[in-house]
Amino acid sequence: MSVPYSNFKSNYFGTAGTSTANLDVIQSFKVDSDGKTLVANSFNFIPTQDCTIILNGSDPIPFKAGKEFVMDIGRNLIHKPISEFIIVEADIDYWCFGIFKD
């Protein structure tokens, strides 16, 4: 997996990588494992293989390769911030980008 990039000064984060089983993409950016739960106001995700995702404790959701998941609470007020975005399967190549909530 490539090294995740996070700029905590501006709250942007992102990476291109390969998942491990049950990888929580958002929480993988935590610097301190005892620190607070990270929450994203905006989040984009694209996998290169079909996979299954779990959002904020949801039931597993099938997700198609090459499709983009886009969530932005600033543009759509019915969206809720994401604190959990899990890729269920291992070895899924993906790209993600987001903005942490202050």
Position of tokens 């790209």? 95
Tell the residue number behind the tokens 């890729």, with chain if given.
Answer: 87
Residue 3 has pLDDT above 50, yes or no: no
- Per-residue model confidence as pLDDT tens digits over 16-57: 999 999 999 999 988 877 778 899 999 999 999 999 999 999
Question: What domains lie within the chain, and their CATH numbers?
Answer: 5-100 (2.60.120)
- Please state, in angstroms and rounded to a whole number, the distance separating the CA atoms of residues 85 and 99: 14
Global pTM reads 0.85
Asked whether residue 5 carries a pLDDT value surpassing 70, the answer given is no
- Give the Å distances, CA to CA, from 79 to 1, 13, 24, 27, 99: 29, 19, 19, 19, 14
Q: What is the pLDDT of residues 48-85, one digit of tens each?
A: 999 999 999 999 999 999 999 999 887 666 778 899 99
Return the pLDDT at 1: 42
- Cβ atoms of 14 and 85 within 8 Å: the answer is no
**What is the CA angle 92-39-19, rounded to 5?**
10
